[in-house]
Amino acid sequence: MAIRNIVKQGDGCLEKVCRPVTEFNARLHTLLDDMRETLAAADGAGLAAPQVGVLRRAAIIVDGEGGYLELINPEILEQQGSQEGAEGCLSVPGRYGMVERPQKITIQFQDRNGERRRLELEDFLARAACHETDHLEGKLYLRLVTRFLDPEEVEA
Ligand code: CO
């Protein structure tokens, strides 16, 4: 495994619509393993392939139980309710802002072996999955921020 460089806001990779993953091979597994290591090293909550310069529809999020949820070719089928909360992004270091997201989503995706799965995600996981899915469309969370947090608020 290897830690990959995380591209920052302003890099064209973050503005592209990513192509679907079509081959569930060793190359994909290496990418996902590297993304896990990169995310852990950065102490983040989620990471999308374009953030490491790979324009494919793959993302990972921490599952809150010490593991990772790998979302390949994710598609949000349904959303319910709304939640407002602070969000940040490893590609936009040092900034946090309030963003409204659905409270609950139904997401369909493939795992690293190409198996189709469907999950209902709530709260933090719904927020993280929406944030990462947006990355695959070339969209940063910044466009959704209703209010940026002051440094004092971030520390609290
Ligand atoms: Co992000």
Region 55-74 average pLDDT: 96
Query: Percentage of the chain surpassing pLDDT 90?
Result: 94
- Choose the catalytic residue: 65, 132, 137, 152: 132
* Res 58 pLDDT > 80: yes
Region 64-83 average pLDDT: 97
Region 36-60 average pLDDT: 97
Give distance in angstroms: CA of 48 to centre of ligand 1.
Answer: 7
Distances from the Cα of 6 to the Cαs of 38, 42, 57, 91, 92, in angstroms? Answer: 8, 9, 16, 7, 10
* Res 152 pLDDT > 90: no
Averaged confidence pLDDT in the chain: 96
Amino acid 1: pLDDT: 80
Amino acid 156: pLDDT: 72
Give distance in angstroms: CA of 140 to centre of ligand 1.
Answer: 7
Give distance in angstroms: CA of 42 to centre of ligand 1.
Answer: 12
Distances from the Cα of 62 to the Cαs of 125, 128, 132, 155, in angstroms? Answer: 8, 9, 11, 22
Region 22-47 average pLDDT: 97
Rounded Cα–Cα distance for residues 48 and 68 (Å): 13
Rounded Cα–Cα distance for residues 134 and 29 (Å): 22
pTM: 0.96
Region 1-8 average pLDDT: 95
Amino acid 153: pLDDT: 83
- Known catalytic membership, residue 137: no
